[in-house]
C-alpha cells in the first residue's frame, strides 16, 4: 500500500507540476476580481476528475477522444487568453482592468483549462490503471484527489502572497492572458495536432 501511495504521489507531481503555475495565476486573478476561490478549487477538481475518468475508461480499452486529436483541447486556454488580451487592450485605462479580463472565467472555464492541460495525465494514467489492481487503482485515485487540494493550497499561497502580488502588480494586467495563450499554443504544438490536421485535409 505504501508503495502504491508513493507511486501515486510521484505520478501526480510529474504530470501536474505545470498546474502550480496555472493555479498561481488564477488565484492572483481572483484577488483582483477574477474567479472566486471556490470556483478555482471546484473547477480544478472537476477537470482533474474528468481526466481520471477518461484515463480509467481508456484503460478498459475504450476511447472517448482519439489520442491524435486530444491536442485540440489546447484551443480552450488559447481562446480564454485571447479574449482576456482583447479585453485588456480595450479596458487598459480602467482602474481595475484584471476584473474585466477574468470575471467571466468561472467554474466550467477553469475545469476546461485543467482538462486541456491534461494530455500528459491521460497518457500516463491510462497504462498504469490498465496494469494495477482495482484496489491499487482506488488508492491511487484517492491520493490524486487529496493532492489536488494540496496543489490548490500551494497556488493560493503563492498567488496571494504579498511579495508576489506587489512584484507582479505592474504586469498582472497582461500576465493571465499571456499564460493562457502560451499554454494553449504549447498544447497545440507539443501534441502535433496541427500537422496531423493538414495531413488529414490534404
For residue range 8-43, what is the model confidence (pLDDT) as tens digits?
998 898 888 878 888 888 888 887 777 888 999 999
Average pLDDT estimate for 93-105: 52
Cβ atoms within 10 Å of 154's Cβ, excluding its own:
15
Helix (H) or strand (E) holding 116: helix 107-116
**What was the pLDDT predicted at 140?**
93
Please state which of the ranges 92-96, 137-141, 144-148 shows the lowest mean pLDDT.
92-96
Which residue range is the domain that position 59 belongs to?
2-201
Residue with cell 502580488: 165
pLDDT value of position 152: 94
Number of folded domains that form the chain: 1
Please tell me the pTM assigned to this model. Answer: 0.71
Of 89 and 67, the structure prediction assigns the larger pLDDT to 89
Q: Which of 187, 52, 40 is nearest to 111 (CA)?
A: 40
The 10s digit of each residue's pLDDT in 35-72 is: 888 999 999 999 999 999 988 888 887 655 555 566 67
Amino acid at each position: 500500500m505504501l508503495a502504491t501511495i508513493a507511486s501515486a504521489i510521484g505520478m501526480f507531481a510529474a504530470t501536474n507540476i505545470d498546474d502550480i503555475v496555472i493555479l498561481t495565476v488564477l488565484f492572483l486573478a481572483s484577488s483582483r476580481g477574477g474567479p472566486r476561490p471556490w470556483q478555482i478549487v471546484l473547477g480544478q477538481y472537476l477537470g482533474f476528475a474528468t481526466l481520471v475518468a477518461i484515463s480509467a475508461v481508456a484503460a478498459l480499452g475504450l476511447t472517448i477522444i482519439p489520442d491524435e486529436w486530444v491536442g485540440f483541447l489546447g484551443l480552450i486556454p488559447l481562446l480564454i487568453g485571447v479574449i482576456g488580451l482583447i479585453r485588456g487592450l480595450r479596458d487598459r485605462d480602467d482602474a481595475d482592468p484584471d476584473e474585466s479580463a477574468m470575471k467571466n472565467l468561472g467554474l466550467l472555464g477553469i475545469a476546461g483549462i485543467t482538462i486541456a492541460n491534461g494530455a500528459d495525465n491521460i497518457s500516463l494514467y491510462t497504462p498504469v490503471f490498465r496494469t494495477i489492481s482495482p484496489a491499487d487503482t482506488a488508492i491511487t485515485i484517492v491520493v490524486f484527489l487529496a493532492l489536488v487540494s494540496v496543489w490548490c493550497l500551494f497556488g493560493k499561497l503563492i498567488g496571494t502572497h504579498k511579495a508576489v502580488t506587489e512584484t507582479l502588480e505592474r504586469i498582472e494586467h497582461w500576465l493571465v492572458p499571456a499564460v493562457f495563450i502560451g499554454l494553449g499554443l504549447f498544447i497545440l504544438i507539443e501534441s502535433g495536432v496541427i500537422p496531423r490536421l493538414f495531413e488529414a485535409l490534404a
